[in-house]
Amino acid sequence: MKRALLSVTDKTGIVEMAKALEELGYEVVSTGGTLKTIREAGVSAKAIEEITQFPEMLDGRVKTLHPVVHGGLLFRRDVESHVNTAKEHDIEPIDVVVVNLYRFEETLKAEKPHEEIIENIDIGGPSMVRSAAKNHRDVLIVTDVKDYERVIEKLKEGSADLAFREEMAMKAFAQTAYYDSMIARYFSQYTGKQSETFTLGLKKEGTLRYGENPHQSAAVYRDGFEDSLLSDYEQLNGKELSFNNLNDLNVAVELARCLKEEGRVATVALKHATPCAVALGDSVFESYSKAYDADPVSIFGGIVSCTGTVDLETAKMMNKIFLEIVAAPDFTQEALEELRTKKNLRVLKVDLQKELAEIDLKYISGKVLLQDTDKDADEGFEVVTEVWPSESRKRDMLFGMKVVQYVKSNAVVLVKDGVTLAIGGGQTSRIWALNSARNNNPDKDFSGAVLCSDAFFPFYDCVEAAHEMGVEAIIQPGGSVRDRESIDKCDEYKMSMVFTGVRHFKH
């Protein structure tokens, strides 16, 4: 008689699966809670102890870790010596295995105590999955609830061929790899140590229409270990998010999160993963209005992220132009109805209380670069000139350095009264970045502004250009061998300069 072994944590669909297998002539063998569930539903299942002749023990830690189980999974039916060995030791073949694992991920995300997390590390389940998947020619392994109906249909039709079995084996090994990656990252976090090998568990959330360009295929995966800004968001309106939308959205909400402060509202306008205008205000409407006025050209077709609840007045103003995405912690019902009049506008509810992701990963050809996310730097505030910045200029400096952190290097940001006047980035020379910011905003009045730079000034040319523009204060990391020249030039022009000691390259 054919035999099926069922042992699942997620009981969804398991009764129907067990009944279907029994109807197909399989002897059903099961364990613990799975056995209880299917027996109560009328399935004549055998307990695993009846097969192993050995009781479950150690609080269920040992029940399927037995030669009768793994021998029944691993012996090759086409190898005579395997068959003879199985007969010699009274090992019956197991033909179908249905397994899903202990809820380690869910326990971890629920922030349970360490000991409870450890107890939710499954040992027997992954062992059975790997044994069955290795011997997939003879054993059909099923690890995904969504595959139950398909598996039964294949078995009824006699079409569970090698290609199908290989597909199921692929999914099984991917499942155990993901599971182990979660455990490894938990222990890395718990111990504060990093292994020589790094495993990243990703779950596919969906296929995207295309990548950065129409000829590139793309998909979006979720990092199962992280619970950060874009781990969960609610889409309230609009068409499917694209690859570029998601990439841009990440920058917009991260910067908005960094600018969130009590009593003020920040609005970030962004285009092509680069901020084009950022403003602080006493309300969402004020901050959005200031951001729009700061760059009414680039904001068109861009993304807007706000740190406050979007109201009707703001929504009406937003709807005057074409925007790809509006993201905020919340929307009034009236604002949402207004924004929904544009059916393609993507409206997203994003929890800005969540933290930024811990890791920043870049895949290059054949290698992966991994670093800590650029956050929580211990930035200094050393005034290196004779003139000290006023309190208002100091606030602008701190605001601008948060913005420049999200602009492609070389990057400069000009700020006044909590609003970006101009942004220059992605240049191979710092003076070119400043010239770009100035030339793209020929009608702007930069008098009294603050210049923020993501890295040090290699020459004093940026100081001279800033002085010509009317800039009063400069903030930069410092650290150039020619810092003294820039400082002396600031003193000559009665400008203030501050060193932070922290660079913010973004490549």
Structure-token pair, residue 479? 């650290």
Answer whether 274's CB lies under 8 Å from 405's CB: no
Q: Exactly one of 272, 342, 349, 375 is catalytic; name it.
A: 272
Residue type at position 43: V
Query: Where would I find the H helices in 351-460?
Result: 391-404, 430-439
- Amino acid type, 65: L
Q: How much helix, strand and coil, in percent to the nearest 5, is found in the chain?
A: 40, 20, 40
Q: How many CB atoms lie within 10 A of CB 361?
A: 13
199's tokens: 């495993």
DSSP 28: E
Q: How many residues does the chain have?
A: 507
Distance CA 265, CA 500 (A): 25
Q: Decide: 457 and 480 in contact? Cβ < 8 Å.
A: yes
- Going by C-alpha positions, the residue among 111, 110, 106, 99 that lies closest to residue 121 is 106
Find, among 329, 316, 324, the residue nearest to 299 by Cα. 324
Q: Is 114 a catalytic residue?
A: no
Strand-pair partners of 30 = 6, 47
Give CA–CA dist 295/269, Å, rounded: 9
Partners of 97 in beta bridges: 5, 141
DSSP H or E segment with residue 74: helix 67-74
Residue of 46, 134, 316, 402 marked active site: 134
322 CB-near residues (< 8 Å, 6+ apart): 300, 301
Mark whether 272 is an active-site residue.
yes
Eight-class DSSP state of 472: -
Active site residues: 134, 272
